[in-house]
Chains A and B, each alone.
Chain A
Amino acid sequence: MTDWQWFLVDVFQAMAAGLMVGGTYGLMCVGLGIIFGVMRVVNFAHGDFMMLGMYAAYYLVTYFGVLAFLGPYAAPIVGAVLAGPLVFIVGWLLHYALIARVTGARVVSAEAEGHYAQIILTLGIALVLANGGLILFGSTPVSVQTPLSRQSWEIANVLFNQAKAVSFAIAVACAIGLYFFLTRSSLGKALRAAADNPIAAAYVGVDVDRAHRFAFGLGVGITAIAGGLIASTQSFQPYIGFEFVITMYAGVVLGGMGSILGAFWGGLTIGLVQQMSTLVLPYQLQNTAIFVVFLLIVFFRPQGMFGRVWERT
């Protein structure tokens, strides 16, 4: 093959990797998108809930091997999916104990003051989770063992890592499941109503605080599943959450803040950007590329994010 054919293969390889990674990023962003969309809360600790999901999968699958009976192929997948409900409970409790005090219908429509308390509270939670993780889990990077991560399918010279491909498929399946949950079930509809107009939702009988608590648990749970899936494709340590916060926000902002399923496409795009950037940038700068894209989105598409720039005078 000629040079440019090889270059083309590289491009396709990066695209394939971007799509596969982007699927899990998309799911991760959907989790954050639910929380922002429903509660208008900037959850700074979101990356750390993802980290909890990673460790949940790690302990279930590799460390304690509780799921060993499922065999080396199914166990990592089941472990990732089980991370969801576990982290859901953690998120539900944290919302009940702490976050509810600075959020709720009262704050949703409020200006800066309310957000201020929220972002700082969730920053505190992020610090406690990340450093508490360091205490509980240690600082040595770990990963979920699966034979898939060392195997690839090859299609026209382009390699598809099997662990990433499976993660992609599960992430897409979860996102589709969530889509049907939000559009078909009455609980999902209540959530979307609370997202759209919390005050009107309260008037028609939606318990907004309960909806928020469920949404927070659901949001972090979904992201924990994404974390569990990523856990079998890369190694991680308790501080990984901070690196992913910007990645996730980039996806959510790109998809349109408040649009829960738009977040999936946003995350997918961010995955593509990250992997494609390796074609032109050094490997270490792929996260810098994401931050630059994030800043560009925030600066040049603000109308999609603020709604109105000036509040009503």
Chain B
Amino acid sequence: MAAALRSSPNGHYAAIAAFAGAYLLAGFLVRNSYYQWIMTLVLLWATMGLSWNMLSGYSGLISFGHAAFFGLGGYTMTIAFVQFGVTPWLGIPLGMMVGVLAGIVIGIPTFRLRGHYFALSMLAYPLAMLYVFEWLGYQEVTLPRKLEAPALYAQFLDQRVYMGLALALVVACMVVSLHVERSRFGMSLLAIKQNEPAAEAAGVNALRWKMLAMMLSAAMAAAAGGLYAVAHLVVTPRDLFGVSASAQALIVALFGGVGVYWGPVIGAAILVPLAEILHAELGHIVPGIQGVVYGLAIIGIILLAPDGIYWRVRDRFAVRGRRGPVPATPRTASQPEPADSAPSAAAPGMASGPPLLRLDGVVRSFGGLKAVDGVSLAVAEGAIHGIIGPNGAGKTTLFNVVNGFLPPDAGSIAFAGSELSGRRPHAVCRRGIGRTFQVARAFPRMTVLQNVMVGAYAGAGTDAEAMDLAAAALARVELAEDAHILAGGLTTRQLRLMELARALAPNPRLLLLDETLAGLGHEELDEILQIIRRVNRDGVTVVIIEHTMHAMVKLAHKFSVLDHGKLIAEGSPSEVVREEAVIEAYLGRKWVERAQHPVA
């Protein structure tokens, strides 16, 4: 996608225009009004699929309730028309506004949920609306015929006009989806889908993007609902709010291809005619045949090609051009590292100046367990500060509190003079704190470059700037060669470097590295140590959690030792490793005596 950001979208526009032209031509050649109606339905369900894809396809939050927006769009238009005489030309935009409003009202509480809780809650909304509309007495509403001025009320004898309107709608939705896919918006949604915590830590404001997606999605579905009602002339709550409307939106999108704007169009073009024609031919013998077709289609696709037809076909035929490394921004030739250079006592900024990060009495409990228990520490600007301690000492929890994943129960966290506690992870990231994770969190279906770009946006205004920052960060960690590999197939070393580059991309002042060296071989370890040192020399303050003690002694200027959530020792590495409490925490009491009376 990063490459797509730069390539021209003209090819896509040409493809969409060719599709629209061919469809229009086919539509005008068809004489049978039933087939014309099917062609209109294909477009309406393609729009519903695009709507579903906008939210669920890109962000990964499965919605079972898109009928809510479809129904609100349809009923708003219908009620405005029947009760107030408002023309559908205004009623449909009005319905879209109602849909967007509903999207916001639904989104605010529902985005707190994930996975199946989100899916089921979304199902509850249209069903609740269904009963409300039935109770209000809208069981079956017929649009009155306006014989004196039919065009003013969007009433046409020629079915093909409706088809043309639906085609305009679907093309608009495709273009919007295309733009989303090729922008920071789409990339943020994809990052959220693949790993939400990592996206947040990389500066993505997940809530904002999800809400925008919901609003766009709701507008599309409401427009489809309004147009459906105009063309169909009769609305019932079961048609508009029923489970099958939600299910069809989801199914055409998943069947055709999830997360790509052609997907829902392909899905609708195959499934809608199939279901409709079977229904017309066999409906009197087997009344539920449409539902069976949709059900079997989705069962088949989830077992055989879970990402949909588009991706399956593309994977089979597309010759994947392997691009070369990104044009690395010229970097000052890396100075040869003095191997194993011990940190000099006079590390930059060690003694002078206010600390960059200061924790004061930070507490975080899980139930009765105090994972972080009154920790106060100061990280000097320019230092490499090691946090060590046995498993379960609260090190990672401390990072989670600093970067905003967990609010502290008490205490304060000051970064460069301003308070951090209470801020969300993306906001913390934007203030200049990058982090990596104990278990590397990649966005597996994006390339290395795209992964890093997600992080780069936190420090960039435009796509081009983000691209440059990402390329620079990859060069800094010496990973530019692998920029176009999918992150799902990286080695541990590459993953660690990519995470480091993602954290570095927006040029943070402070890096939180959580066991960056874990699982690496000896040589790889040395390589990463050198990179960390170089980054530090460039002026980035580093706080690192690590178990590999011999590496840490070489790397860090200062140690803070945690045990059972409490800070038990602090000082230079050579002092700290001799401290009794530290040896006891790591090895137990017995070893303290041995350390004091070493057997010759």
User: Once the chains are docked, how many angstroms separate the CA of A266 from the CA of B3?
Assistant: 52
Q: Which residue of B lies closest to A101 (CB)?
A: B303
Q: Which of A126-155 contact B (CB under 8 A)?
A: 126-135, 138-139
A131 touches B60 (CB 8 A): no
* Nearest CB in chain A: distance from B405 CB, A: 5
Per-residue 0/1 for B286-302: is the Cβ within 8 Å of any A Cβ (1 yes, 0 no)? Answer: 11111110111111001
Q: Which of B192-206 contact A (CB under 8 A)?
A: 193, 197
Residues in A with CB closer than 8 Å to B295 are 123-129, 131
Chain-B contact segment, one of A70-78, A85-93, A160-168, A280-288? A280-288
B113 touches A313 (CB 8 A): no
In the complex, B400 has a CB within 8 A of chain A? yes
User: Once the chains are docked, how many angstroms separate the CA of A42 from the CA of B289?
Assistant: 25
Per a CB cutoff under 8 Å, which of A112, A245, A246 touches B115? A112
* Nearest CB in chain A: distance from B434 CB, A: 14
A302 with B113: in contact, given A120-B250, A310-B405, A310-B406 (CB under 8 Å)? yes
Interface size band for B: 35 or more
Q: Which of B287-327 contact A (CB under 8 A)?
A: 287-292, 294-299, 302-303, 306
Residues in A with CB closer than 8 Å to B396 are 312-313
In the complex, B135 has a CB within 8 A of chain A? yes
Q: Which residue of A lies closest to B60 (CB)?
A: A112
Residues in A with CB closer than 8 Å to B119 are 42, 119
In the complex, B586 has a CB within 8 A of chain A? no
User: Once the chains are docked, how many angstroms separate the CA of A7 from the CA of B328?
Assistant: 80
A285 with B62: in contact, given A115-B115, A130-B291 (CB under 8 Å)? no
* Nearest CB in chain A: distance from B49 CB, A: 14
Q: Which residue of B lies closest to A129 (CB)?
A: B295
* Nearest CB in chain B: distance from A258 CB, A: 13
Q: Taking chain A's interface residues, is the majority helix, strand, or loop, or is none over half, making it mixed?
A: helix
* Nearest CB in chain A: distance from B105 CB, A: 12
A246 with B132: in contact, given A112-B114, A124-B296 (CB under 8 Å)? no
Of B121, B297, B396, chain A has the most CB atoms within 10 Å of the CB of B121
In the complex, A249 has a CB within 8 A of chain B? yes
A288 touches B288 (CB 8 A): no
Residues in B with CB closer than 8 Å to A129 are 295
User: Once the chains are docked, how many angstroms separate the CA of A135 from the CA of B294?
Assistant: 15
Residues in B with CB closer than 8 Å to A111 are 115
In the complex, B131 has a CB within 8 A of chain A? yes
User: Once the chains are docked, how many angstroms separate the CA of A98 from the CA of B127?
Assistant: 28
A246 touches B120 (CB 8 A): yes
Per-residue 0/1 for A32-49: is the Cβ within 8 Å of any B Cβ (1 yes, 0 no)? Answer: 000000000010100000
Per a CB cutoff under 8 Å, which of B131, B250, B437, B514 touches A288? B131
Q: Which of A101-118 contact B (CB under 8 A)?
A: 101-102, 111-112, 115-117
Q: Which of B428-457 contact A (CB under 8 A)?
A: 437-439, 441
User: Once the chains are docked, how many angstroms separate the CA of A305 from the CA of B64?
Assistant: 20
In the complex, B123 has a CB within 8 A of chain A? yes
User: Once the chains are docked, how many angstroms separate the CA of A131 from the CA of B124?
Assistant: 21
B302 touches A102 (CB 8 A): yes
Of B121, B193, B243, B297, chain A has the most CB atoms within 10 Å of the CB of B243
Chain-B contact segment, one of A178-186, A211-219, A227-235, A290-298? A290-298
In the complex, B254 has a CB within 8 A of chain A? yes
In the complex, A121 has a CB within 8 A of chain B? yes
Residues in B with CB closer than 8 Å to A203 are none
In the complex, A299 has a CB within 8 A of chain B? yes
Per a CB cutoff under 8 Å, which of A42, A112, A285, A298 touches B121? A298
Of A243, A249, A302, A313, chain B has the most CB atoms within 10 Å of the CB of A313
* Nearest CB in chain B: distance from A111 CB, A: 8
Residues in A with CB closer than 8 Å to B60 are 112, 116
B399 touches A284 (CB 8 A): no
Per a CB cutoff under 8 Å, which of B116, B127, B289 touches A291? B127
Q: Taking chain B's interface residues, is the majority helix, strand, or loop, or is none over half, making it mixed?
A: helix
Per a CB cutoff under 8 Å, which of A249, A299, A306, A313 touches B438? A313
A132 touches B292 (CB 8 A): yes
In the complex, A59 has a CB within 8 A of chain B? no
Residues in A with CB closer than 8 Å to B513 are none
* Nearest CB in chain B: distance from A201 CB, A: 22
User: Once the chains are docked, how many angstroms separate the CA of A312 from the CA of B116?
Assistant: 20
User: Once the chains are docked, how many angstroms separate the CA of A311 from the CA of B254?
Assistant: 27
Residues in A with CB closer than 8 Å to B62 are 116, 119-120
User: Once the chains are docked, how many angstroms separate the CA of A125 from the CA of B120?
Assistant: 16
Per a CB cutoff under 8 Å, which of A124, A125, A243, A298 touches B117? A298
A312 touches B112 (CB 8 A): no
User: Once the chains are docked, how many angstroms separate the CA of A8 from the CA of B503?
Assistant: 65
User: Once the chains are docked, how many angstroms separate the CA of A250 from the CA of B300?
Assistant: 30
User: Once the chains are docked, how many angstroms separate the CA of A123 from the CA of B243?
Assistant: 10
User: Once the chains are docked, how many angstroms separate the CA of A292 from the CA of B365?
Assistant: 32
Per a CB cutoff under 8 Å, which of B112, B135, B302, B406 touches A284? B135
Residues in A with CB closer than 8 Å to B437 are 313
In the complex, B340 has a CB within 8 A of chain A? no
A98 with B303: in contact, given A135-B286, A249-B120, A313-B396 (CB under 8 Å)? yes
In the complex, B109 has a CB within 8 A of chain A? yes
* Nearest CB in chain B: distance from A119 CB, A: 6
User: Once the chains are docked, how many angstroms separate the CA of A117 from the CA of B60?
Assistant: 12
A131 touches B134 (CB 8 A): no
In the complex, A242 has a CB within 8 A of chain B? yes
Residues in A with CB closer than 8 Å to B297 are 124
* Nearest CB in chain B: distance from A307 CB, A: 11
In the complex, B555 has a CB within 8 A of chain A? no
In the complex, B247 has a CB within 8 A of chain A? yes
B112 touches A299 (CB 8 A): yes
Residues in B with CB closer than 8 Å to A245 are 120, 123
In the complex, B128 has a CB within 8 A of chain A? yes
Q: Which of B107-145 contact A (CB under 8 A)?
A: 109, 112-117, 119-121, 123-125, 127-128, 131-132, 134-135
* Nearest CB in chain B: distance from A120 CB, A: 5
In the complex, A84 has a CB within 8 A of chain B? no
Per a CB cutoff under 8 Å, which of A119, A135, A238, A295 touches B124? A295
Residues in A with CB closer than 8 Å to B125 are 291
A246 touches B288 (CB 8 A): no
Residues in B with CB closer than 8 Å to A312 are 396, 438-439
Shortest 10 CB-CB contacts between residues of A and residues of B: A131-B291, A131-B288, A127-B295, A134-B288, A128-B295, A124-B299, A124-B298, A42-B116, A291-B128, A284-B135
A-B contacts, 12 of them at CB < 8 A, read: A112-B193, A124-B251, A124-B295, A124-B297, A127-B247, A127-B291, A127-B294, A131-B288, A242-B243, A245-B123, A249-B120, A313-B399
- New contact pairs (20) apart from A120-B302, A123-B64, A133-B288, CB-CB < 8 Å: A112-B193, A115-B115, A115-B116, A116-B62, A119-B64, A123-B247, A126-B295, A127-B291, A127-B295, A127-B298, A128-B291, A128-B299, A131-B292, A242-B127, A288-B131, A294-B124, A306-B117, A312-B438, A313-B396, A313-B400
